[in-house]
Amino acid sequence: MGKVTGSRGSYAKTAERRRDIAQAVLDLVVEKGHRAVVTADVAKRAGLSEPGVLYHFASKDELLLAALQHFDDVELTALPEGESILRARERAVAGVERTNIVRLHTAMSGEASDPTHPAHEYFKQRWRRSNKLMADSIRQLQADGAVGPDVDADSASRLIHATWEGLQNQWLAEPGFDIGAELEKAIVALLGYPVEHVVGSPPAGRSRAR
Amino acid sequence: MGKVTGSRGSYAKTAERRRDIAQAVLDLVVEKGHRAVVTADVAKRAGLSEPGVLYHFASKDELLLAALQHFDDVELTALPEGESILRARERAVAGVERTNIVRLHTAMSGEASDPTHPAHEYFKQRWRRSNKLMADSIRQLQADGAVGPDVDADSASRLIHATWEGLQNQWLAEPGFDIGAELEKAIVALLGYPVEHVVGSPPAGRSRAR
DNA sequence: GTCTATAGAGTGATAGAC
DNA sequence: GTCTATCACTCTATAGAC
C-alpha cells in the first residue's frame, strides 16, 4: 500500500526512512559519542524536522537503540552457522573508530536493565540468542569430541559472554592489552585445551568432523 | 580554619556536607533508580537548595559518582588483606535491593569510558586497584602452592574481574541463575582446581600457610 | 500516512546577593 | 558557604498542512 516513488526525498516505505534515521544516529554516535548526540542534530543529518524524527521513533532512547540495532544489522552480518559469533563480535571492537559504539552498547546495557527502558527487551533477547548460539556450538564441539563431555555448555557460554563483555569494559577504561588474546585464554580455560574452532582463524580446510 | 559547631544544620566542614549529599543521592538511587534521580530531589532530601548542592559537586554526573564512591566506602569496607575482594563484591550485589546500584555502576562504567567524563579516572583507578589486589592474592596462592606457577596472575585477575562484571550485566538483564556459583566456576577454570581460599566460605581456621 | 511549525515542561547549570 | 533568581538547552507534545 502506498506508491513507491524510488526517488530520494520522497519515501513511500517507512522502513527506509527508519533505516536512514538510524544510520544518521549511528554516524553521530561514531563522530561525537552518544552523550553528545541530540535529537536536533539527528533531524538535521537525516534531513527532516525534529518531530519528524519522533514520528518514526518514539523517544531518544529508541533512537539510540535503533542505532545499535542498525549497527548489528550492517556490521555484524548474519552469522554463518554459530561458531563464528565470537569472531564477529571481536571484529566489532577491533577498530578504534568503533569505540564510541562499544561505549554506547555498554552504557545502554546498564540503563536497559531497567525493565521500563525501551531497550530492555532487546538486550534480554540478545543475551538469550547469543548464549543459545554459542551453547549449541559448544555442544557440537562436544559431539565431535573436541570438548570434554563434562563441560556444561550453557554455563560455559554464559561465562564466555560475560568475560567478553567485561573485557570490553576494562579495555574501554584502559586499553593496552590484547583483548582477543585474553578472550581466547578464557575460552581455553573454560572449555579445555584445543578449541581453535571457536575463536581462531577461519577453519579453512579444517572440517570439524575430521 | 573555620569554627566547628557540631550541631546539625550548620556544618563547619565541607566534607560532612558532601557525605550527607552523597548519602542522599545513594538513597534516591536505591529507591527510584538512577535515571529517575533529579538534582531537585537530591537538594530536597539533603536539606538545601539546588545550587547549594551544586556548590559541593560540580555536576549531576559528579553527584552520581559520589553516590557510587560513598557506596564503596560504607558498604565495601576496606579489604582485610586482598583475598576477600571477591566476597566483598559478591556481597555488593547479593540483595535485590541493591540492583539499582549495580545498574548505576554498569551504566556509568560505560559513560565513564569517555575520557572527558568526570568518573573516567575513578573507574580507571578502580580497575587498576582491583586487578592489582587480586593479582597479588593469586601470586600469594602460587607461592603457597595452591595455584600452579604457569598461571599468569595479572591475566587471570583481569579475566576474573571481566567475568564478574559481565555476569552482573547478564544477571541484570535476566536474573535466574546463581551468579556466585558461575563466578566460582570461572575462577576454578582459570586458576586450576582447589581454590576455596579465593572465593569460598570464610577461611575460619584455615590458614593459608598450613 | 508522513511530516512541519510551534510551543511547552523539565532539567542542569550560572550569576550574584546574603 | 549557601541561597534566590534566572538562563539555556534538550526532549516531547500538539495542531494541523501535505
Which whole number is the average pLDDT over B130-135?
90
Judge if B88 and B148 occupy the same domain. yes
In a domain, residue B209? The reply is no
| Percent of chain B residues topping a pLDDT of 90 | 54
In a domain, residue B198? The reply is yes
Give the C-alpha separation, B45 to B63, whole Å.
13
Q: Find, in chain A, the residue whose alpha carbon is nearest to that of B173.
A: A113
pLDDT, tens only, B143-192: 988 899 999 999 999 999 999 999 988 998 998 898 888 998 999 999 98
Nucleotides of C under 7 A from a protein CB: 1-7, 10-16
Residue B89 is placed in which grid cell? 563484591
Band the pLDDT of A3: cuts 50, 70, 90. very low
Band the pLDDT of A196: cuts 50, 70, 90. low
- CA A6, A11, A13: angle at the middle one, nearest 5? 95
Which residues in B47-205 belong to E strands, given as ranges?
none
In a domain, residue B38? The reply is yes
Please say if the pLDDT value at position B59 is more than 80: yes
Among A55-69, A85-99, A155-169, B67-81, top mean pLDDT goes to A55-69
| Percent of chain A residues topping a pLDDT of 90 | 54
Which whole number is the average pLDDT over A79-100?
55
Protein-to-nucleotide distance from the CA of B1 to the C1' of D6, whole angstroms: 33
Lowest mean pLDDT segment, chosen from A74-78, A103-107, B14-18, B129-133: A74-78
Which whole number is the average pLDDT over B110-130?
92
> What residue has cell string 535515571?
B35
Of B22, B55, B75, which marks where a domain is finished? B75
> What residue has cell string 517507512?
A14
DSSP B59-83: SHHHHHHHHHHHHHHHHS---SSST
Cβ-based contacts of A106 with chain B (< 8 Å) = 106, 109-110, 113
Binding-site residues on chain B for chain A (CB distance < 8 A): 33, 35, 99, 102-114, 117, 120, 123-124, 127-128, 155, 158-159, 161-167, 169-170, 172-174, 177, 182, 185-186, 189-190
Cβ-based contacts of B33 with chain A (< 8 Å) = 114
Judge if A57 and A96 occupy the same domain. no
Judge if B196 and B98 occupy the same domain. yes
Residue B97 is placed in which grid cell? 535491593
Give the C-alpha separation, A149 to A18, whole Å.
46
Judge if A123 and A67 occupy the same domain. no
Band the pLDDT of A87: cuts 50, 70, 90. low
Interface with A, mutate which of B158, B161, B177, B191 (most A CBs under 10 A): B158
The pLDDT mean for chain A works out to 81
Band the pLDDT of B86: cuts 50, 70, 90. low
pLDDT at A162 (0 to 100): 95
pLDDT at B13 (0 to 100): 72
Band the pLDDT of A76: cuts 50, 70, 90. low
Residue A130 is placed in which grid cell? 547469543
Judge if B39 and B140 occupy the same domain. no
Please say if the pLDDT value at position B91 is more than 50: yes
Judge if B114 and B52 occupy the same domain. no
Please say if the pLDDT value at position B74 is more than 60: yes
Judge if A2 and A42 occupy the same domain. yes
Q: Of residues A49 and B171, which shows the higher confidence score? A: A49
Cβ-based contacts of B174 with chain A (< 8 Å) = 124, 127-128
- CA B92, A160, B100: angle at the middle one, nearest 5? 25
Judge if B95 and B31 occupy the same domain. no
Please say if the pLDDT value at position B82 is more than 80: no
Which whole number is the average pLDDT over A122-146?
91
Among A172-176, B31-35, B73-77, top mean pLDDT goes to B31-35
Contacts of B99 (CB under 8 A, 6+ apart): A113, B93, B172
Give the C-alpha separation, A11 to A17, whole Å.
7
Of B54, B75, B96, which marks where a domain is finished? B75
Please say if the pLDDT value at position B49 is more than 80: yes
Of A33, A48, A75, which marks where a domain is finished? A75
Q: What share of residues in chain B are helix, strand, coil (percent, to 5)?
A: 65, 0, 35
Q: Considering its fold, how many domains does chain B have in total?
A: 2
pLDDT, tens only, A159-170: 999 999 999 889
Q: What is the CATH number of the domain that holds B22?
A: 1.10.357.10
The pLDDT mean for chain B works out to 81
pLDDT at A35 (0 to 100): 95
In a domain, residue B61? The reply is yes
- Residue type, position B22, single letter: A
In a domain, residue B4? The reply is no
Give the C-alpha separation, A163 to A189, whole Å.
12
Q: Helix, strand, or coil here: A127? A: helix
| CB contact at 8 A, A121 and B167 | no
Give the C-alpha separation, A60 to A97, whole Å.
23
- CA B86, B91, B92: angle at the middle one, nearest 5? 100
- CA B171, A69, B100: angle at the middle one, nearest 5? 30
Domain membership of residue A16 as a residue range: 1-75
Judge if A194 and A180 occupy the same domain. yes
pLDDT at B180 (0 to 100): 83
Judge if B91 and B193 occupy the same domain. yes
Band the pLDDT of A77: cuts 50, 70, 90. low
Judge if B35 and B127 occupy the same domain. no
Judge if A31 and A3 occupy the same domain. yes
